[in-house]
């Protein structure tokens, strides 16, 4: 069992604070708490081997977190609990939009945000339709050869009198960056990390 030293007041140290955190070397660990009293152990690491003698070589690692990128929120029905959710991941810089529509005389036009065309790439856009309380056939009708044109898409049914309700979801990739290389070679990029959040250093 390790010894614990409790100090009330400030601590001033002339020298070096070291440790033996599992991230490697002599990394020092610090116990941290959120405003909700959730605890986490953080370790400071100096990685000049990979990043040189520069600010980017100084890293803070969350040693108490696993590989999932998580966030914690208050539980909506049980005040004695938290909700811990993980982020959704994929091999692209994707965005999504969703909503509900209804056909009128077998047709509906769905409008996306006006910035959609400038914000997303034209290639690879997808539209998913789900019937609600009915079974009339649904399809996306192309306009000028495109599923989505001028930030809109059209849903039709083979039933010309259909008033079918439907949920819809559009996914696309952002246009303001290069396509993501999901499998880069290790020697082709520098990587830094903050807890489970690893990122490319440029």
Q: Mind listing the pLDDT tens digit for each residue in 35-89?
A: 555 555 566 667 676 667 776 667 665 555 556 677 778 899 999 998 988 888 8
What order do you get walking across the sheet with 152-156 strand by strand? 107-111, 152-156, 139-141
Reduce the DSSP state of residue 20 to 3 states and report it.
coil
CB 59, CB 44: distance < 8 Å: yes
Q: Locate tokens 């949920």: which residue?
A: 167
The string of pLDDT tens digits covering residues 5-37 is 777 877 887 776 766 655 555 666 666 665 555
**Assigned token pair, 172:** 């696309």
CA angle, 82 then 84 then 89, to 5°: 165
Taking the whole predicted model, whether its pTM rises above 0.75 is answered as no
**pLDDT for 99 beyond 90:** yes
């Amino acid at each position: 069992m390790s010894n614990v030293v409790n100090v009330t007041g400030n601590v001033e140290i002339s020298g070096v604070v070291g440790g033996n955190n599992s991230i490697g070397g002599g990394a020092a660990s610090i116990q941290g708490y959120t405003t909700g009293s959730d605890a986490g152990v953080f370790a400071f690491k100096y990685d000049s081997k990979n990043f040189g003698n520069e600010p980017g070589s100084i890293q803070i690692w969350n040693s108490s977190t696993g590989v999932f990128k998580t966030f914690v929120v208050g539980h909506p029905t049980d005040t004695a609990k938290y909700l811990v959710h993980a982020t959704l991941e994929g091999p692209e810089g994707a965005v999504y939009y969703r909503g509900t529509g209804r056909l009128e005389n077998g047709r509906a036009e769905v409008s996306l945000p006006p910035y959609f065309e400038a914000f997303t790439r034209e290639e690879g856009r997808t539209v998913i339709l789900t019937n609600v309380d009915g079974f009339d056939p649904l399809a996306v009708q192309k306009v000028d050869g495109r599923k989505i044109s001028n930030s809109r898409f059209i849903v039709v049914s083979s039933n010309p009198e259909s008033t079918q309700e439907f949920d819809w979801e559009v996914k696309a990739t952002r246009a303001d960056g290069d396509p993501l290389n999901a499998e880069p070679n290790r020697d082709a990029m520098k990587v830094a990390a903050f807890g489970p959040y690893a990122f490319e250093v440029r």
